[in-house]
Amino acid sequence: MLSALLKKCRWTQKHLLGIRDLSREEILSVVDLAAGLKKEKDAGAPLKGRRLLNFFAESSTRTKTSFGIAARALGLEVLDLSPAASSLTKGESLKDTALTIESMGVDFAVVRHSASGAPHFVAGKIQGSVLNAGDGTNEHPTQALLDSLTIRESLGKINGLRIALVGDILHSRVARSNLWAHAKLGNEVTVVGPPTLIPRHIDALGARVSTDLDAVLPEMDVVMMLRMQLERQQAGLFPSIMEYHRFWGLTRERMARLRPGAIIMHPGPMNRGVEIAAEAADSARSVILDQVANGVLIRMAVLLLLDRCS
Amino acid sequence: MTTLLIQGGRILDPASKRDETGDLFVADGRISRARPKGKPDRTIDAKGRWVVPGLIDMHVHLREPGREDKETIASGCAAAAAGGFTSVASMANAGQTIDTATAVVYVKARAAETGLANVFPMGAVTKGLGGRELAELGTMAEAGAVAFSDDGQPIMDSEIMRRALEYAARWDRTIVSHCEDATLTRDSVMHEGRVSVELGLRGWPSAAEASMAARDGMLARMTGGRVHIAHVSARETVEVVRLMKSMGVRLTAEAAPHHLACTDESLRTYDSRFKMNPPLRAREDVDAIVAALADGTIDVIASDHAPHTTDEKERELAACPNGVVGLETTLGVVLTDLVAAGRVPLMRALEAMTAAPARILGIDRGTLAAGATADVTIIDPKLRWTVEPSDFHTRGRATPFAGRELVGASTATIVGGRVVFERA
């Protein structure tokens, strides 16, 4: 069953560094494989005897846990180079960390780092496959893949849709991975937020730009709210939480502007009362918990495909 | 229906390029194309007078709330009406900073109580004018703030200026920039030039203004935001404004009457009524600013009306605050020193006090077109008068024009069809 599913997949990547590197067929292969895995009761430990190392140089609980669950479901041995135990605090260079990982003989290294491009750097130093679990303000590819699976499950298709990404586009690797994904999949993405949090030239990633959430909402099939980090206010990028909520929050009042069937997504963790109100987060339109569940399946699918090409 | 007939005046409306002698009709607070039926409720004889759109001063410090000893909204509005101004834009650096929607609404409500002039509040760009964190520009815009400015303080942090320009553009609001590189102007009391050397006074170099205007222009160009350069005082700044406009930057500029008519030679008396920020500069600067106003490079005449108490102002130069009053002298100075002197065409000078500020602030004022709100100023261009600060309606007394004989003054000021001031 699993091998039949895998056989249909197209995949040529040794690493998963970014959605930017994937073809439309590769994105769809991951989504299809994850959807197939959902029907399987037991994956049967096909990767038994191999080793996965989580290297999270930036704090994370849900993504790291999700990778761990996915890896164990496939029979992988999971190691953790957690920030407190790692050499980061001792000032070890990323090069030495990568060489250490290599000498531990791991098949998969899951890397999260505050510097954009760090997973690419590690990939150049080790024999195994690198999975980017979020690098700086660049990409978070498994998030965009799990978002794509969730959208397809909810709406029955993953092309020809209108998707709004709302919030801090400037710093969001989730936004950027989704932009790459939906440009390839044939969905139209509008980025919405304070003008100070929308990077110039974002149209280079195929995005439409708006600063008027009220005007955009009625046209959207998918509304993806992004986490607003409070330090952005201290950096002078917007005046206050209340003003942000007033103009760019998904409030109870704005829920009425959504078209029938439109879904609400959020990569988590949510700031309730800031970018999203309870009436939105907990509504029947919300697929936020589906996103979490699908995260494990997507990460299993990616590991299986990378294993095939390693 | 309340009707008003302004009879036989020379009607000058820069917005529509109208210049003809005739009657102007007002019905229910609006300019009417046709003569209303029946006898008008009131007729004003305007023969020999100029009938112009109500003048707009987009740079006025009203001080209330918090420093009512310097000026109240009521005294400032009375000064505006007496000076021929039907609208003023108030600066955010009142005694308490206008940096919230609550404060914006307060200023509007207090002005409405006086009924003497329209007050269009500006909000602060940064909280408490601190230059560090953006104020709630969106909420203030929706409460009625027409533009944003930290005037009185430069925004030294270029990143904050960038973000302000980006953010304010969401509501199509202009950032009014007080251009002063404060690291170059510490302890200064006048223009840095030959006169400051002779007088032994610490100077404020022109480069401190021009360099910041250039920065702001570049940031406006990058962000697509709109920036307005307040009180241009230096010829170098004029060149920067010209360059930015030639590059298509959304940049506008204003000049104050004292920078159009006075030089740093005035400081030879060490009199604090010549101390303001930016300072009076050299003759070459004045000539460049006048020429730029005439050709439209400088869009607006704005007074930078900045009242202080006599107690504060009657001190040695180093100790007294910057600022002079202007609402009641601007029109006379412009008509005498610029228009009658043949240096700025009449229509251009009027445009700089009507249509141009209305356009920059995005307010529905500054024209005599049919249907427009009936804000009208009637001017006697031959009236000869002497500036006497004790006659002012403003609470401020310090003016560089005290004792000057001027020709031309408003004789009636009409706001929304109501006569709010008539010269006895």
SS3 track for B190-213: EECCHHHHHHCCCEECHHHHHHHH
Nearest alpha-carbon partner for B256 in B353, B345, B149, B174:
B353
A287 three-class SS: coil
CB of B133 less than 8 A from some CB of A: yes
- Kindly state the DSSP code that residue A20 receives in the 8-state scheme: G
| pLDDT (0 to 100) of residue A310 | 66
| pLDDT (0 to 100) of residue A253 | 96
CB of B88 less than 8 A from some CB of A: no
Whether residue A93 has pLDDT greater than 90: no
Determine the distance in angstroms separating the CA of B158 from the nearest CA of chain A, rounded to an integer. Answer: 11
Whether the domain at A2-139+292-309 and the domain at A141-291 fall into the same CATH topology: yes
Q: Where are the alpha helices (DSSP H) in B224-367?
A: 235-246, 257-261, 283-295, 310-313, 330-333, 346-351, 355-361
**Residue of chain B whose alpha carbon sits nearest to that of A194:** B167
Phi and psi at B78, nearest 5°, equal: -65, -40
Strands B203-204 and A129-135: unpaired
- Are B139 and A243 within 8 A, CB to CB? yes
Determine the distance in angstroms separating the CA of A103 from the nearest CA of chain B, rounded to an integer. Answer: 45
Whether the domain at B3-50+373-387+403-422 and the domain at B54-361 fall into the same CATH topology: no
What is the count of residue pairs from A and B with beta carbons less than 8 Å apart? 44
Question: With contact defined as beta carbons under 8 Å apart, do B21 and B9 qualify?
Answer: yes
Domains in chain A: boundaries: 2-139+292-309, 141-291
Question: With contact defined as beta carbons under 8 Å apart, do A244 and A274 qualify?
Answer: yes
Whether residue A230 has pLDDT greater than 90: no
- The topology (CATH level 3) of A141-291 is Rossmann fold (3.40.50)
Determine the distance in angstroms separating the CA of B6 from the nearest CA of chain A, rounded to an integer. Answer: 45
Question: With contact defined as beta carbons under 8 Å apart, do B414 and B86 qualify?
Answer: yes
Question: With contact defined as beta carbons under 8 Å apart, do A135 and A111 qualify?
Answer: yes
What are A's interface residues with B at a Cβ cutoff of 8 A? 194-196, 200, 211, 233-234, 236-240, 242-243, 246-247
Q: Which residues of B are catalytic?
A: 304
- pLDDT tens digits, A234-274: 788 999 999 999 999 999 999 999 999 999 999 999 999 99
CATH of domain A2-139+292-309: 3.40.50.1370
* The one-letter amino acid at B350: L
Q: Where are the alpha helices (DSSP H) in A14-113?
A: 24-39, 62-73, 94-103
* The one-letter amino acid at B114: T
Euclidean distance between CA atoms B333 and A178, whole angstroms? 61
User: Which of B126, B157, B170 is the best mutation test for A, with the most CBs of A within 10 A?
Assistant: B170
Q: Which helix (H) or strand (E) holds B59?
A: strand B55-60
Question: With contact defined as beta carbons under 8 Å apart, do A121 and A94 qualify?
Answer: yes
- pLDDT tens digits, A268-277: 999 999 999 9
- Are B135 and A236 within 8 A, CB to CB? no
Question: With contact defined as beta carbons under 8 Å apart, do A108 and A71 qualify?
Answer: yes
Euclidean distance between CA atoms B140 and B102, whole angstroms? 8
Nearest alpha-carbon partner for B227 in B255, B251, B260, B244:
B251
**Residue of chain A whose alpha carbon sits nearest to that of B135:** A239
CB of B157 less than 8 A from some CB of A: yes
Q: Which helix (H) or strand (E) holds B141?
A: helix B137-143
Q: Which residue has the tokens 């298509």?
A: B248
- Are B170 and A200 within 8 A, CB to CB? no
User: Which of A201, A233, A238 is the best mutation test for B, with the most CBs of B within 10 A?
Assistant: A238
Nearest alpha-carbon partner for B332 in B374, B303, B311, B298:
B303
pLDDT along chain B (424 residues), means of 10: 94 97 96 89 97 98 97 98 98 98 98 96 98 97 98 97 98 98 97 97 98 98 98 98 98 98 97 98 98 98 98 95 98 98 98 98 98 98 98 98 98 98 92
Partners of A168 on chain B (C-beta within 8 Å) are none
Question: With contact defined as beta carbons under 8 Å apart, do A218 and A168 qualify?
Answer: no
- Are A239 and B132 within 8 A, CB to CB? no
Euclidean distance between CA atoms A25 and A29, whole angstroms? 6
SS3 content of chain B, % helix, strand, coil (to 5): 35, 25, 40
| pLDDT (0 to 100) of residue B317 | 94
- pLDDT-derived band of residue A61, with 50, 70 and 90 as boundaries? confident
Q: How many CB atoms lie within 10 A of CB B120?
A: 25
| Chain B, window 221-280: residues with a beta carbon less than 8 angstroms from a chain A beta carbon | 222-223
**Residue of chain A whose alpha carbon sits nearest to that of B127:** A239
CA distances from A34 to A2, A39, A93, A187, A305 (A): 11, 9, 36, 20, 11
More confident residue, A44 or B86: B86
Phi and psi at B121, nearest 5°, equal: -75, 145
Per cent of chain A over pLDDT 90 is 83
Q: How many CB atoms lie within 10 A of CB A84?
A: 6
CATH architecture of the domain formed by B3-50+373-387+403-422 = Roll (2.30)
**Number of H helices and number of E strands within chain A?**
13, 9
| pLDDT (0 to 100) of residue A69 | 96
- Are B138 and A200 within 8 A, CB to CB? no
- pLDDT tens digits, A288-305: 999 999 999 999 999 999
- What dihedral do alpha carbons B204, B205, B208, B209 form, nearest 10°? 90
- pLDDT tens digits, A125-164: 999 999 999 999 999 999 999 999 999 999 999 999 999 9
| pLDDT (0 to 100) of residue A233 | 78
Whether residue A176 has pLDDT greater than 90: yes
Domains in chain B: boundaries: 3-50+373-387+403-422, 54-361
Whether residue A85 has pLDDT greater than 60: no
Report the first-to-last Cα separation within chain A, whole angstroms: 21
CA distances from A171 to A212, B219, B228, B414 (A): 19, 21, 30, 53
Euclidean distance between CA atoms B116 and B128, whole angstroms? 29
| pLDDT (0 to 100) of residue A83 | 61
B226 three-class SS: strand
Euclidean distance between CA atoms A131 and A142, whole angstroms? 9
- Kindly state the DSSP code that residue B39 receives in the 8-state scheme: S
* The one-letter amino acid at B365: R
Residue A134 CB contacts under 8 Å (≥ 6 apart), including other chains? A58, A60, A63, A112, A113, A140, A143, A173
Residue B167 CB contacts under 8 Å (≥ 6 apart), including other chains? A194, A195, A196, A238, A239, B134, B137, B138
Quick check: bond before B65 cis, omega within 30?
Answer: yes
Question: With contact defined as beta carbons under 8 Å apart, do A310 and A47 qualify?
Answer: no
| pLDDT (0 to 100) of residue A308 | 87
Euclidean distance between CA atoms B356 and A274, whole angstroms? 40
Question: With contact defined as beta carbons under 8 Å apart, do A164 and A222 qualify?
Answer: yes
Determine the distance in angstroms separating the CA of A179 from the nearest CA of chain B, rounded to an integer. Answer: 22
Whether residue A50 has pLDDT greater than 70: yes
A37 three-class SS: helix
A296 three-class SS: helix
Query: Counting Cβ atoms within 10 Å, is residue B157 exposed (0-12), middle (13-18) or buried (19+)?
Result: middle
**Number of H helices and number of E strands within chain B?**
13, 18
Residue A99 CA from chain centroid, whole number: 27
User: Which of B166, B171, B175, B221 is the best mutation test for A, with the most CBs of A within 10 A?
Assistant: B166
Rg (CA), chain B: 20
Phi and psi at B159, nearest 5°, equal: -65, -40
Mean pLDDT for all residues in chain A:
93
CATH of domain B54-361: 3.20.20.140
- Are A236 and B222 within 8 A, CB to CB? no
Euclidean distance between CA atoms B82 and A185, whole angstroms? 67
Q: DSSP readout, A217-265?
A: GGG-SEEEE-PPPTHHHHTTSSS-HHHHHHHHSB-HHHHTTSPTT-EEE
